[in-house]
Amino acid sequence: MAQFEDIRPYNDQEVRPVIAELIHDNEFIDAITALSLPRIGRYIAPFVRPLVRKKIMAKTADIQTVANLQKKAEFYLGREIDRTITDLNITGLDKLDPQSSYLFVSNHRDIAMDPALVNWSLFTNGFSTLRVAIGDNLLTKPFASHLMRLNKSFIVKRSATSTREKFKAAKTLSQYIVHSLNTDNENIWIAQREGRAKDGIDVSNQAILSMFALSKPKPETFGEFIAKLRIVPVTIAYEYDPCDAAKAHELYAIEQTGTYQKGEQEDVQSIAQGLTGFKGNVHVHFGEPLTTHYEDAEQVKHVLDAAMLDNYILQPSNCIAYELLEKVSPKVNVGVNQTCFTAQDYSRERVIFNDRLKAIPTEMHNTFLRGYANVVYRKLKKIA
């Protein structure tokens, strides 16, 4: 539909022309070189462009459709999962229908891996892949927008400035989500809030939930409309966050100065680090669809937040961080088997965690630890 032209993913007919444009984009070629060779890539990039172009042309020669591209992306993602994740555990999909479409609202810890892991979980269990919401703040380069839209991402316009522009963008986004779910029968992924939960506290942005209802037909109540969206809360728990040091650095800077200036390539670096960094054990849980007729967005927010906290599987790293802060072991269960933390020997995990802690400046240690421990505090508060 024409109204979604500037935010929608690319279709099959656009795949080859967009790939050709990417191959001739020097910034894209240089970015690939820099990511492939972190230490020297940016220095040699202009000199190896012909070689890199030739290699990319060979690797993309058989990609004619979005499905072709996603199949190839699945191979590379699978390789990174095998290399960086010790054990990936997926639960809750048995309560969902592979023939239906859902609006997956997820906690947000990693820019690329969160939707990638949800996509992987669905794809490998017989569900259709996702259309992924991505903020235009991450698409500062044309090639970044091309790459995301090739892989079924649609754009959330966060750069709008006036109230009128913001409302128009939000309503169009709402209409596109509803169109995707009910007309195209496509699954949707969107984070529960703008930006990652760098402090480890997963809470929904009520404005996002209100946005969903901007395309509600007048005869329907808010509750009836929300029920038809088939919202599924998704909780992702990483044992180790590849970007934990960078997040601690940012939060510490804000604590000390009240502000933080993001580097030009920082988001790209975060994406690369999140994809390639070690994560240990990872758990992805799909909750049950929200079908109750809720009265307003605030009520939906409380239900979503409670479900995500309940379904969050604590990792030993969360409890070790709590121990270091409180000098006492938390009385909570960890892992997919829900074993009492104090009943197990986690000496190996303590060594790994302490090595990560030692790699950052001492003054940032408490900030770093809270990023892992905050979910334990929240769990204990709920138990109490």
Its sign, for the CA torsion 64, 270, 140, 27, is negative
How does pLDDT run across 20-44, given as a tens digit for each residue? 999 999 999 998 898 788 788 888 9
**Statement to judge: residues 323 and 235 lie in one domain:** no
For the beta carbon of residue 157, count every other beta carbon within 10 angstroms.
Answer: 17
**Statement to judge: residues 26 and 117 lie in one domain:** yes
**Statement to judge: residues 47 and 188 lie in one domain:** yes
Domain count, the chain: 2
- Amino acid 113: pLDDT: 96
Contact 45, 30 (CB under 8 A): yes
How does pLDDT run across 170-224, given as a tens digit for each residue? 999 999 999 999 999 999 999 999 999 999 999 999 999 999 999 999 999 999 9
Tokens of 285: 């849980």
Q: Environment class of residue 120 by beta-carbon count within 10 Å: exposed (0-12), middle (13-18) or buried (19+)?
A: buried
**Statement to judge: residues 304 and 328 lie in one domain:** no
For the beta carbon of residue 336, count every other beta carbon within 10 angstroms.
Answer: 14
- Amino acid 72: pLDDT: 92
**Statement to judge: residues 309 and 353 lie in one domain:** no
Which domain-ending residue is among 313, 344, 364?
Answer: 313
Distance separating alpha carbons of residues 183 and 188, to the nearest angstrom: 13
Tokens of 56: 């990319």
- Amino acid 208: pLDDT: 96
- Amino acid 1: pLDDT: 66
**Statement to judge: residues 360 and 235 lie in one domain:** no
**Statement to judge: residues 255 and 369 lie in one domain:** no
Supply the CATH number for residue 215's domain: 3.40.1130
**Statement to judge: residues 272 and 337 lie in one domain:** no
**Statement to judge: residues 69 and 84 lie in one domain:** yes
- Amino acid 384: pLDDT: 56
Which domain-ending residue is among 286, 313, 340?
Answer: 313
**Statement to judge: residues 48 and 125 lie in one domain:** yes
**Statement to judge: residues 275 and 358 lie in one domain:** no
Which 3 state secondary structure label does DSSP give 152?
coil
Which domain-ending residue is among 313, 331, 347?
Answer: 313
- Amino acid 272: pLDDT: 86
pLDDT tens track of the chain, all 384 residues?
Answer: 689 999 999 999 999 999 999 999 999 999 889 878 878 888 899 999 999 999 999 999 999 999 999 999 999 999 999 999 999 999 999 999 999 999 999 999 999 999 999 999 999 999 999 999 999 988 888 898 999 999 999 999 988 889 999 999 999 999 999 999 999 999 999 999 999 999 999 999 999 999 999 999 999 999 999 999 999 999 999 999 999 999 999 999 999 999 998 887 788 789 889 999 999 999 999 999 998 889 999 999 999 999 999 999 999 999 999 999 999 999 999 999 999 999 999 999 999 999 999 999 999 999 999 999 999 999 999 875
- Amino acid 54: pLDDT: 96
- Amino acid 237: pLDDT: 98
Single-letter amino acid, residue 223: G
Show the domain range for 181. Answer: 2-313
**Statement to judge: residues 261 and 154 lie in one domain:** yes
